[in-house]
Amino acid sequence: MHRTILNSLKSNQKIPTVSDEALIDSFKEIGDVSYFAELYRRFVPLVYGLCLKYLADKDDAHDAVMDIFEKLLVKLPQYEIDNFRTWLYSVAKNHCLQVLRKEKQTVLLNIEDAVVENEDFFTLLDKPQSPEEMAALEHCMKTLPEMQQKSIHFFFIEEKSYADIVALTGFTLNNVKSYIQNGKRNLKSCIIKVLQLT
């Protein structure tokens, strides 16, 4: 199929000059990891940067990169890919979102100060919520002022950036940050009171 390209790739020195698509075809046909290794060399900075953007932690980003490329090593031959760069970007983004969902197990993972002081109470960060906790969360969300509620919803539930929220709501950047910070504080206080009454 790509015999000429494959022959030219026998020498590892020539691999860096070959297109992404040719490397993929060669890897599929021969199974030589050298071709995949070149794809890794080319795209690991892009994938790492994307993972760091989403996960906001260097170690987590590094782990995600390793997971992504380990899966690709096995699964890449199964796909027909027109534009590897675009496809890889989408794969990496989806992987990061899955990591975030798994770690959150709640719509408020990033509300790091929403840990109730009493250790007998739940934390919104490290375990699934009970029906009582979920009910308290839903109730308290409704008690927030509309601007705080919108900002909290967009930021934590829909995972929008500050800039996105500004564009969606018309709020200023400073107001968005203030609404989120105050909203977190109000949620924490409300949830504690609700759970103490149940």
What pLDDT, on a 0 to 100 scale, did the predictor assign at position 98?
A: 85
Please check whether residues 90 and 145 belong to one and the same domain.
Answer: no
What pLDDT, on a 0 to 100 scale, did the predictor assign at position 137?
A: 82
pLDDT per position as a tens digit, 121-177:
333 433 445 677 778 888 888 999 999 999 888 887 777 787 888 888 888 888 988
Please check whether residues 71 and 139 belong to one and the same domain.
Answer: no
pLDDT per position as a tens digit, 22-80:
888 888 888 888 888 899 999 999 999 989 888 888 999 999 999 999 999 888 888 88
What pLDDT, on a 0 to 100 scale, did the predictor assign at position 179?
A: 92
Range of the domain at 49: 3-104
Please check whether residues 92 and 152 belong to one and the same domain.
Answer: no
DSSP 125: T
Residue recorded with tokens 């691999």: 15
* Pick from 51, 9, 49: nearest CA to 33: 9
What mean pLDDT, rounded, does the chain reach? 76
How many folded domains does the chain comprise? 2
pLDDT bracket for residue 105 (50, 70, 90): very low
Please check whether residues 96 and 136 belong to one and the same domain.
Answer: no
User: Is residue 113, in this structure, part of any structural domain at all?
Assistant: no
* Pick from 57, 36, 37, 62: nearest CA to 47: 62
Scanning 105-172, the segments in alpha helix (DSSP H) are: 131-143, 146-152, 162-169
Work out the average pLDDT over 2-15.
46
Residue recorded with tokens 């993929």: 24
Residue type, 61: A
Calpha distance 170→187 (Å, rounded): 23
Calpha distance 99→101 (Å, rounded): 6
Q: Percentage helix, strand, coil, to 5, in the chain?
A: 75, 0, 25
Q: Residue 165 sits in a domain of what CATH number?
A: 1.10.10.10
What pLDDT, on a 0 to 100 scale, did the predictor assign at position 106?
A: 40
